[in-house]
Chains A and B, each alone.
Chain A
Amino acid sequence: MGSNPNVDPDRIMEKEHVIQDGMDISGHWNRMFEQRVIWDYTPELIDKVTEVEGGESFGWCYQCAQCIPVCPVDIVGDYGPRRIYRRVQTGEDLFESKDLWQCTTCMNCLRVCPKEVDMIKIMPAVRQEAILKGNVPEELQKAFENTFDYGNPLGESPKKRAAWLKGSDVNVPLMKEKKKADILWFVECYPSYHPRGIEASLALAKVLNILNVDFGILGAEEKCCCDSQRLAGEVGLFEEFAEHNIKTFKRYKVKDVLVTDPHALNAFRKEYPKYGAKFETIHYTTFLAPKMGELNLAKKLDHRVTFHDPCYLGRHNGEYDAPRDMLKAIPGIDLIEMGRCRENSYCCGGGGGGMWLDGFMADHVSERLSERRVEEAVETGADVLAVCCPYEVSRFEDAVKSTGNEGKLVVKDIIELVVESME
């Protein structure tokens, strides 16, 4: 038998001679990979979690199991708050466990939890302690270091944060020059650097110009909002970046902040105020949905479209209608819903650090969350999977390829569809 790198050799149990019910099951035929009998329970390991600030509600689980069917990771693996509680109660140290890094903080468990066991607080709190002890998956650590060194998790040059504008004739003023604007557009990392993110950014810039929105961007002054790093446990990094961004915002006179990224929306609305931020944040779909009538959407698109709710726009921040209103305003689009949508939407797998844990996750799930979601989209008969979170375009496009659905389904940001129908 080959050796499996996921199995700790010390935990393999094998008896040399065993005959059971007349059957010879000696040697590897009776091999077990862990102790079957529960010899004791480990309340101290539950205490270890609940004693961390933010981890308190972990101890409240009464095993009703409502979280399991809605946990996106359990659907492709063996996971969920109820199970984690039980494992910790029977000997698993969450601080050193693979279970610590699989949660995408999608919040679907909290939505249905009658006891309010809050993984959105528990996971970052325990991860923070684990990181301090140096226990962090390598690829995630790399994303943290990139963020620290370059201001973005991709490791791209901070000076080139506005380079996406090069070669485009669209007018995107810098706040450094403009000083004052109605709207400060916080572009974020993937929309600034990722090729598909850039395409969506150019589309949004074009629409803002057509609508005569008085806006500006920060360019090289902008740093990652850092919300996903925070949820992945890097709270110190988050604090530093929050303070930097808030200081930058204060330099200019703006009314509201517009974001492309629902993770930035979440950070600015819920976390930045703790560090002195005083501004309103709006997601681009919420901003544009009521303005769709002002655009000349002359070209009829012949698309069957299904829409993926981003966890941090929908469940975390309650916006389900604006993206749909935008899609419905585009002529020719036939909007069909997936089974899991709105409050019960599936997760792309990118949240809570998942964006930088694809290698790690591959060892623990039967398929990627993004692959499962793409299969659900294909099942509806849609030819376009519409998204409005910058994590999703790249994740779903990779998944379209890996599931062999190229040619059947394309992934597009809603803003790209809007611009298509204007041409």
Chain B
Amino acid sequence: MSDRPILIIGGGPAGLEAARGIADIGFKAVLVEKEGILGGTPVHSSYAALTPDFRPAKEAMAEMAAAVTNNPGVDVRLNSTVTAATGSLGNFEVTLNTADQGEEKISVGAAILATGFQHFDPGRETQQYGYYEFDDVITLVDLEKMLSAGNVVRPSNGEPPKRLCFIQCVGSRDRQIGNEYCSKVCCGVAAKESIEVRKLVPECKVFIFYIDMRMYGYWENEIYWPSQEKYNVNYVKGIATEVIKKGDRLLVRGEDTTMGRPMEVPMDIVVLSVGMEPSKGTIEMGNLFGADLNKYKFIETVGGAINTVATTVEGVFACGAATGPADIEDSISSGSAAAMKAIGALRRAVTT
């Protein structure tokens, strides 16, 4: 058995689960996180409740973090980044840089990249929806922050909204922007947030403008149906094209495709359902370890349907949203898978 630990980069849902799994099996893990706190994007972006189970994100991530912080099998390095990596399966030499402590070289047997994603910036490519222009045009992430604070109000005047809508597929499924993929989670997250808004501001009418609602598996009955049946959220097929200002309100212009009629609907808050893009860390760590990135700059996995965590470099694995859009359930499952594959590869390398 190799005495070298397995390096995990990224302390979000995928990395936390990979670290816990490795320690549970009896191997050692070094978990490197660039921030001063574990939990990843759900914590750093102040998510309110998880999709689909509505469990408070902070609480759920704290539970995952606790499983590694007091675990003798996991060496947690906060405020740390990996700045160099050489070697191959069984013996990678990596340099860690920790804030206020400087550099340290360690030897690891394998590496798992769990470096995650970043939210699409809806003003980056076009100003179609006026995200930079209008205070009351916000993103799913901005709304999560409001929901976490228990205070959903119009940023422009501090008043609770009477009408709020979501516009789906912003920054996803778009050839011009370059993100041709579906970001997978935004439909579910919008439906989840719509329920939370209806609970918090019951007099607010909520609309979701969509191309097609992608509610795979249980998300259909756990979030989509309840949002419509119990919380009276209005679903309208047809993506809005533009948001313009009308008086002190916003006017959403689009086409209701099932009616075949144009629509111009007033709103107090417009929420853009932004998708996922590779994080800066995902691109940097992929490059550092020599693992190929795909055309969208997520880390390329090479095992097809039957191995979702192998990269182009033997001994380097990737999991969670570092490999492409993923929800938290997927990320945690693939964190587990990466732990298993890394241990398996390392064990075979050492015994042969």
On A, residues with C-beta under 8 Å from B are 62-70, 74, 80, 82-83, 112-116, 339, 344
Contact = CB atoms under 8 A, between A and B. Distances in A.
Nearest to A75: B262
A65 B257 contact: yes
B238 interface: yes
Contacts of A344: 242
B78 interface: no
Given A69-B262, A112-B128, A64 B169 contact: yes
Contacts of A80: 255
B253 interface: yes
Given A66-B239, A69-B255, A114-B174, 9 more contacts: A64-B169, A65-B238, A65-B239, A65-B257, A68-B254, A69-B242, A82-B257, A116-B176, A344-B242
A65 B254 contact: yes
Interface string B134-174: 00000000000000000000000000000000000100011
B83 interface: no
Task: Kindly name the residue among A63, A64, A113, A344 whose own CB sees the greatest number of chain B CB atoms within 10 A.
Answer: A64
A336 B254 CA distance: 26
B38 to A, nearest CB: 36
A122 B242 CA distance: 25
Contacts of A339: 244
B211 A64 contact: yes
Contacts of B240: 66, 69
A68 B242 CA distance: 11
B262 A114 contact: no
Contacts of B169: 64, 114
B173 A114 contact: yes
Nearest to A78: B260
20 contacts: A62-B173, A62-B211, A64-B239, A68-B241, A68-B262, A69-B240, A69-B241, A69-B254, A69-B255, A69-B262, A70-B242, A74-B262, A83-B260, A112-B128, A114-B169, A114-B173, A114-B177, A115-B175, A339-B244, A344-B242
Nearest to B245: A339
Interface string B241-257: 11010000000011101
Nearest to A80: B255
A41 B200 CA distance: 46
A378 B253 CA distance: 22
Contacts of B175: 114-116
A113 B173 CA distance: 11
A70 B239 CA distance: 12
Interface in B191-241: 211, 238-241
Nearest to B179: A114
Contacts of B174: 114
Nearest to B174: A114
A112 B169 CA distance: 13
A313 B173 CA distance: 29
A339 to B, nearest CB: 7
A116 B180 CA distance: 11
Contacts of B262: 68-69, 74
A46 B177 CA distance: 26
Contacts of A116: 175-176
A113 B169 CA distance: 12
B58 to A, nearest CB: 35
A114 B244 CA distance: 20
A68 to B, nearest CB: 4
B331 to A, nearest CB: 26
Nearest to A83: B260
B336 to A, nearest CB: 34
A69 B242 CA distance: 8
A68 B241 CA distance: 8
Contacts of B126: 112
A114 B168 CA distance: 13
A262 to B, nearest CB: 22
A49 to B, nearest CB: 19
B254 to A, nearest CB: 6
A169 to B, nearest CB: 48
Nearest to B171: A114
Contacts of A112: 126, 128, 241-242
Contacts of A83: 260
Contacts of A67: 241
Nearest to A67: B241
Nearest to B175: A116
A114 B176 contact: yes
Interface in B232-290: 238-242, 244, 253-255, 257, 260, 262
B98 to A, nearest CB: 43
Contact of B257 (A63, A70, A74, A114): A63
A113 B176 contact: yes
Task: Kindly name the residue among A66, A70, A83, A344 whose own CB sees the greatest number of chain B CB atoms within 10 A.
Answer: A66
B53 to A, nearest CB: 30
A68 B260 CA distance: 10
Contacts of A69: 240-242, 253-255, 262
A82 B211 CA distance: 12
B128 to A, nearest CB: 6
Given A63-B211, A63-B257, A70 B241 contact: yes
Contacts of A82: 255, 257
A321 to B, nearest CB: 16
B292 to A, nearest CB: 26
A112 B239 CA distance: 11
A67 B242 CA distance: 10
Contacts of B244: 339
Given A70-B242, A74-B262, A65 B255 contact: yes
Contacts of B176: 113-114, 116
Interface string B106-146: 00000000000000000000101000000000000000000
